[in-house]
Amino acid sequence: MYCNGTSTIDSAPIRDEIVISGISGRFPESDNVRHLKENLLNKVDLGSDDCRRWQHDHPDIPKRTGKVNNIEKFDAEYFDIPFNQAHLLDPMTRCLLEHTYEAIVDAGINPKDLRGTKTGVIVGTSFSESEKMLVYEKTQVQKCK
C-alpha cells in the first residue's frame, strides 16, 4: 500500500519504478507476435488437420488443432543447459526460455546487461501436455504414418 508517495509498510519513500515492456510468443502457424498479427489481419486459418504432432484417430484429440512450428529446435548451449537435460525438457519449457530472452530484447534491453543486476524476470507456463501424457496417462500417442 502506498500513500502520499510513501510506502505504508516501511514508511520508506517510493523510488523510481522500472518497467521493462517486451513481448514475445509463438502461436499456431506464427513464429512470433508480428507473424501472428499478419496472419490474423489476413484472416489466415491457423488450425490444421495435418498430423504433425498427433495421430488424428486418437479419440481425445480434435481433428483440427493449432500447432506451433519448430518445437524440436532449441539452442541448449546458448542457455548453458547440457544436451541430455535439454532433450528431456518439455517443449513448453524450452519455448519459455527462448521467448523470455526475446521479450527482453523486444523491450530494448541487451540480456547480457542484466547479468549481476538486481533484476527479476517473471514468467509462467500452464500444465504441460507432455507431462500429462508421459507421467499421468502413461500412454503413447503413435506417430503419424
Integer Cα distance of 71 and 35 in angstroms: 16
pLDDT, tens only, 56-96: 676 776 778 888 888 888 999 999 999 889 888 888 889 99
Whole-prediction pTM: 0.66
| Percent of the chain's residues with pLDDT above 70 | 70
Contact (Cβ atoms closer than 8 angstroms) between residue 44 and residue 36? no
Q: Which three cell numbers stand for residue 132?
A: 500429462
Contact (Cβ atoms closer than 8 angstroms) between residue 1 and residue 7? yes
Integer Cα distance of 129 and 54 in angstroms: 12
